[in-house]
Structures are given as C-alpha cells and as structure tokens.
Structure 1
C-alpha cells in the first residue's frame, strides 16, 4: 500500500514533454504566409481609394452605401437584385463596339488597353479581389463603357434608342445617379478616362472631357449652373464619387483650404441653432445660385451659409463622401467638417425648420424630424482632426464670440423671453399696487 502511494505521488509530479503537432504548425505557417484579404496590404497605400464602408457607419445608416439597381466594380458583382442592369451593360458595350469598329477598334483592343492597368487597379481596392486577370479586365471594360455610354447619351454626344428602357422607365435613371456615387460601387477613374479617350469618334467628343460629361450627367439631379460644370472640366478624381465630391470644393477659394498645421489653440465645437440665436447670433443665407454649400463664413455675429438641398440624392451622396474621407488617408475632410457643422447646429426638427425658413436648407427629403435624424447620423461616429479642417477658423470664431459673456447677457436682456417676462412682472406689480391702494382707500378713506 505504501509503495503504491509513493508511486502515485511520483506520477502526479511527472512532467509531460510537449510535442509539436505537425499539421498545426503547417497550418500556422500557411496562415502567416497568406496575405490579408478583407483589408489587404494595399489599403494602406496612397493609391487605395475604393473601400468597404466601416461597419460602424453601415450600422447607423443602413443601405445608404449599397447599390440598388447596378453593380460597378467587384464588391457587389453578381448580387441577384442587380442582374437586371447586367444585361443592359452588354447591350451598351455592343453599341460602343459598333460605333468604333470603323476606326479599327474591337473588343480585344480595349481589353489589351486595360491589361497593363490591372495591377494598379487592384491596388485601388481595400479588399483582395477574387477574380483572375481576364475576369478582372472584362469587368473593368464592361462596367466602364456602361457608364461612359450613359454619359455620352445624356449629353447627346451619341443618340439613344427611342425605346431604350433605361431612359423610358422613369425610376431607373435616378437610381443610376445614386448608385454611381456609392463608395463600394466604384472603379478607378484612370480606367474610365483611358477607355473614354480611346473610344472617341467625333470631333465634338474630343472637345469634351470625361469630367465634364460625368458632372453634366449628375447635374440632372444636382442642378448647378453650367458655369460651375464648365469650371470643373479639367478636374480629376480617384473615382466618380471623388470627382463629384471635389467639384464642390472651389479651387480658388482661400477660405476652403485646410490648414497645413494645427491651429494654435484647440478648436471648439459650436452651439446649436437656438443657443446661437439666444446669444444674439444671426444665421443668414449667402451666395449666388450654384455657390458650393461648403463656403461658410462668420463675421460680426453672423454665420453665413449657402443653401444646401437635402433630398434622396444628396443624402446618400453626403454619407458616402464622409465614408470615403474616413477611409482615404490622402483625402481632404471637407464634407466631414461640413457634416460636423450641421450636426452642431441641428438637434431637433425646429432647428431644421429655422434653417429652412432662412433658406439655408431646402428639405425635399421628408419631415423636418427625418432631416434632423439624418444630419445627426451624418456626423455620428466619424473621426477627423478638427484642428486641421477647413472650418476650424469658423468654429473658433463662433466659440470666441459666444464665450464673450457680456454679449451673451446683453442678448438675453434684449431677447423676447426676457422682455415678455419683464412686461408681465411689471403688469403684475402695477395690478398689486392698484389693488392695494383701492383696498387701503376703502378702509382708510381720506379725511
């Protein structure tokens, strides 16, 4: 019995030597050698510009980042609800080939042109694209020419069939305007531009840039003056979303430049509409027709803002611009800064009502409450350096003006609530005095 006990104790203290599982080690080495796929190494490069929208934003804004009727690029390729337009892509490609065949250009020529761009095109996507090079080239050619042909037809550079359903069915084009400007639904701009230039046929086409045609296409819903579009004819972008986003950033306006260095004092966010009004601020619409909504000024207690239209096109466009600026390190943060400004100003439906009354905002989106929720979601969960945004000067000037206590107090004394309270109090005191002297005169009549 004693020997058994000793043997048991020895067994308890036995140290097992770990032996490597060869299959496990091979699996680990294989995973070490595999490059990341969902966020590829290309995502950290300057050229990467087409991203999956962060889940934090997608959870807030739902389907604003997903195409409704047409897939452009690889991220939503082959999804069942987008198949209807896939058939028409091939029809439009056939029109391009028919028109350029007399120039000696065929499908093989266009694919050969895109082939050298495959490597740089793949690096534009934050995810590894699970297509071989031939499939990738096919996708680029088909998707690019579909958009280019639409731009040419809308600009009347080429005729469109009288019974073309893409033009005759009223609801389709408005969804193209939205889907072509979703971050996950892009192809590189340099691919578009190369195929556009290669497929020019008429002298009239050679006078027009791709940027001009694209902006004319979207102007059917944005409705900006022709002079604004013409001024952007030489504009470039990383893709269509960036092109349209950049067209709202006037290149000759000093106040829209982002500071290269941090401001000397920390930037403060500003108060909401009712707080500013209560403090004696005025909000005023400025700008001529077509003025970019980004041109915001503050001087002498007046916050000046051009009109912005909130509708079914603007709302997803702004959301996708913010998502792009959140993901692309080399992008400016103009839309994000403007979204932050709106988020500061608007808390309730009454704030939207006031901005609409001042013609700073035009609501074609829904109720004022729905617009307020959209604006608050637009600025939610975004990260950017507020000290280096183009509105940092406006934020600081408004904060400094608001912090001037005597001005805020004087504004209170001039405000209707104070004056009405003062009037009511005075009336009450006079009534009490009158009652007192009436009663006093009754009990103590004059001798």
Structure 2
C-alpha cells in the first residue's frame, strides 16, 4: 500500500493531490468516484478514474461509484463556456440506466465489486431551506467565485454564470459529506477538472465534522486536436457504446495514436507490470513500424469494452481491409461482410439504381464519402480512390457485376479511410 502512490505517479495517473494522501492509503479505506449522466454513454476518458479505482481495489480499498442524477439535473460548469441545456427527467433517467450498466460491466470484467449509489436518493430528502441554512452557510461567495471554473465563466459578461451552476460545487461537496457520514468514505477521485469540486467537499467535511479527508485528480485525456473527451463534446469523442463508436473505430483509434501517446497510454490504460511495459517500450522503439504498443493498447481496450469475441472479429476485419489483395473480398462469407458493414461508415442504396449503372463520381458524392464532385475528381486524379481494393484512375460506371456477394461495394480513400455501400 505504501508504494501505490509511486505506482500511480509512474503511470501518469495523478495530477493534483491533497497533502497527506499517503497516510490514508497506508490502511484500507473507502474511495468514491462519480459520473453525472449528462449523456447515455461513457467515453475513453471516463476509463481513467475507473482504472485508478481498480488499482486501489487491487490493494484492498473499497470502491463506491456515484451516479449523479441530482447533479445531472444541474450540470457541472467546469470547463464549460456556456450553461448546459437542462435534460428532461425521463431522458436523464434513461441516461442513468445506460451509465449504470456500463460501469457494472467495466468493473465486472476485472472481477471487481462496487457499491453503486445514486445521489438523488439523499439530495431529494433535504429541503432548499435546510440546504442553504445547514450547508450553504459554510461557503462565502468569495470562496465560490475564486474557483477557476467560476472565474472563467464570470469573465464572459454575455454568458455569465447562473446561481444554479454556482451551486453545483456545493451539492457535490454535500455528496462527499453524506458518504463520509454514512460510509466512512475518506477519499474522492476525479478528473483534473473536478479539483475545485473535490476541495469544496473536503472543506465542507472539515467545517462540519472536523475530520480530515482526502482527494486527488487524474489527468484529462484529450483528442488528437487537443480537446478533452467529455460527454458533452459528442463529435470529439470515442464512446464506449458500440452504437456511437463502432468496435472497429475504437480499435483503430488506438492503432493510429502517435508513438509518444502510445508510450504514455500503455502505462495509463493497462495493468501490465512496470517491467513488462518498459520491455515493450524498448522493443517498440527498436522497430516502431510494427506498432507494438498501439496494437497492445487496441487489443487490451477493445477486449475490455466489447469482449474477446468482438476483438477477434475486429482483428479479422482489420486484416481484410488493409490486405492489398483484391481477390480476398470475393472469398468472404456473409457474416464477415455484415461485420465490415456494421463497423465502418456505410449507407444503403437501392439495387435498382445499378440497372443502368451509377458513375463513380456521383456515388462518392451522394454517399457523402467525399463531400463534393470536385474533391472526388481530385482524389481520382491523384490515384487515391480504390473500389473493391482496385485503384481507380478515372471516372467509370458502377454496375451490378461490381457487387461483392451481390450486395456490397467497398470504397477506400488513401490508406486508412473506408466506406461501404450495401445495395438492397
């Protein structure tokens, strides 16, 4: 237990921490993390606090996970330029169920038991007058507006910050107080954007009970363009829900990360030993073209999220898509073609449209694989378009004989972008 902070620090899993944290980690304690159900799926950034929790469980600490249905009604202003749009009650409850199921599956995969609670169960029992009298009195306005998440919003005079959002930090602090009273919880973990909220809870517990409790944050994971993964940044995310991010896309995300990110993430996202990781890094640096680190991450995380059967299917699909032999497509069975269709960008067309043929330029534009005829023409002239793995050097007419299994046509743009059309 004494070495757990060194272990987490080496893995890059600690950003900010309360002084004396090592004291509470020398003995078994109760830890909590929380997720607001502001969307119906977690994303790869959400895995980091869960991974930290599993590391702590491995040495005997107890884990509580909070689904923040109450705080989800408000929305955390941290890192937000604008006020969140309030979710309707029925939508929020659907999100609660989805997030709850994902959390159970993530911990169950590693054979870990958790206590899963909903903060609405205790928030709903306190009246507004009670809350502002018994809890709100412990925080000055100056204290609340000193937090970065609040200061940044106040600077924007047009948008400002509502009282509703200003109260978020106190409500989350009350969660920590409630868990400390009822579960003897003494440690809270969150993303680095939660540091201010965690400190609010620590201060509240100290003022009301006199007890010393602790907290630390994990770094936020960002997309290649530098934006954080978050449940409100839908277009930037790699989701855990297969209907939002296909298992193939999840796998390819890890395959395509940079070598620097791969060296960082192999420590953060896997439970491999330090010795094993260091050996992998040395081997990878010796021959980076093999992408050993990227493949290890893709295999480990895809298997965790979608299971071993799905991983095998994805590795099969990947080998087919990146195989330069065009004859391989005709040998595929219907199950594999269906898997390819489900996992890469796709669209349905009527087979009747092939009766008189469709020009390649038109099908590329109409399928939105390429945004315009101009871009499609440019790609063809530059030998960047493949149809059923055959490079195309000029516009031509697609007809029924071009179909794979009498249903599909596979398109490729450059080395990595694929698109498939199913004709019915």
Instruction: Output the TM-score relative to the length of structure 2.
Output: 0.22
Q: Comparing both structures, which one devotes a greater share of its residues to helix? A: 1
Instruction: Output the TM-score relative to the length of structure 1.
Output: 0.21
Look at both structures and tell me which one has the larger radius of gyration over its CA atoms: 1
